[in-house]
Copies of this chain bind each other. A is one copy, B any other.
């Protein structure tokens, strides 16, 4: 089938099947109904051949090329498909299993993942291992026919709906920190797994904390080799970056009440000083949007942006805080207190509360600057003291003891 035809069929299928409004499914935290609807849609999507377009046929994918995937994505861009709860599985966990899983793992997990039957989450970050993921403390101890896991993970999206998790845990504390990690597939419904919503500064719970208390994992659920977990995680994170880079291009949300287009409507532009601040916001917004477009053009031309994507992420993080701060400053008192009956009330306050998320998720601004400095500009690295020391001899935060 030629590409035009493929695209035409995709268009038709979407027209017939894609939900026009995806109220509770496109956003951050669908309820149980939303998840059920999303799963139903995903099954239809899979059965029509549009889930896992480039994934190997052997494990349940369609075995097609990037060209078909781009064609479908171009058509799907007109919709807000309810795929949010599957995004971690599709973007990170699944591809990791395709790359590193055993055949029986691939057989067992990939098709249900693509068909939306099983939702996945990713379990790397910990309270004391944020920027420094390899410092994680959750431990897995070998036991009869498997492993027993104890510890805590945090910042886990969609965990409250997840059936499976891709877990990174420490299996050896006597070797340097990058060498004593192992990756596992964990059943999120297993006894000893507790998922607790993590209320963030917006007052909502976009993420979860996960507690593992003597959770048993069968031996066949080790991904890759025991002790090779860091390299496995690097693969996962690479897929994460690819899926972000291949996505919409991080341009910020169009409906952000603190963005230029919103402020030009709401701000008092009869004041020349206000006009000048809006011009500043326009300049910064356009500068970043054009940079993102340039990266996207380069990517389409086969030039993977690599660490330069971290520059875009850093700029977006800074712009997000800048514009929320500016918008609230321009609005004055009404930005910070509002009548509960006022539909527009509180939108700027929420934007301000949400603004730090962009800087704190996916690597802090400092980590981004290190990446840009070291991998784009090739600046010399910081002297490292943690590479050749057994994990158990490393410092930990505060009075934490292990």
Using a CB–CB cutoff of 8 Å, the interface residues on chain A facing chain B are 271-273, 276, 383, 385
Closest to A272 in B: B272
Nearest CB in chain B: distance from A329 CB, A: 13
Cα–Cα, bound, A328→B264 (Å): 30
For A383, list chain B residues within 8 Å (CB): 383, 385
Copies of this chain:
2
How many Å lie between the Cα of A273 and that of B271 in the bound state?
10
A276 contacts which chain B residues (CB < 8 A)? 273, 276
Complex Cα gap A276–B272 (Å): 10
Between-chain CB contacts (< 8 Å), 8 pairs: A271-B272, A272-B272, A272-B273, A273-B273, A273-B276, A276-B276, A383-B383, A383-B385
Chain B residue at minimal CB-CB distance from A273: B276
List the 3 closest pairs (A to B, CB-CB), nearest first.
Answer: A272-B272, A273-B276, A272-B273
Question: B residues within 8 A CB of A273?
Answer: 272-273, 276
Instruction: Identify the closest chain B residue to A275 (Cβ).
Output: B273
A333: min CB distance to chain B, Å: 21
Q: How far is the CA of A271 from the CA of B385 in the complex (A)?
A: 56
Q: Give Cα distance in the complex from A16 to B276, angstroms.
A: 56
Residues of chain B lying within 8 A (CB to CB) of residue A272: 271-273
Task: Give A271 to B273 CA distance when docked, in angstroms.
Answer: 10
Q: In chain B, what residue has the closest Cβ to A276?
A: B273
Shortest Cβ distance from residue A54 to the other chain B in the assembled complex, whole angstroms:
46
* Chain B residues near A271 (CB-CB < 8 A): 272
Chain B residues within 8 Å of A385, by CB: 383
Looking at the assembled complex, report how far the CB atom of A383 sits from the nearest CB atom of chain B, in whole angstroms: 6
Residue in chain B with minimal CB distance to A384: B383
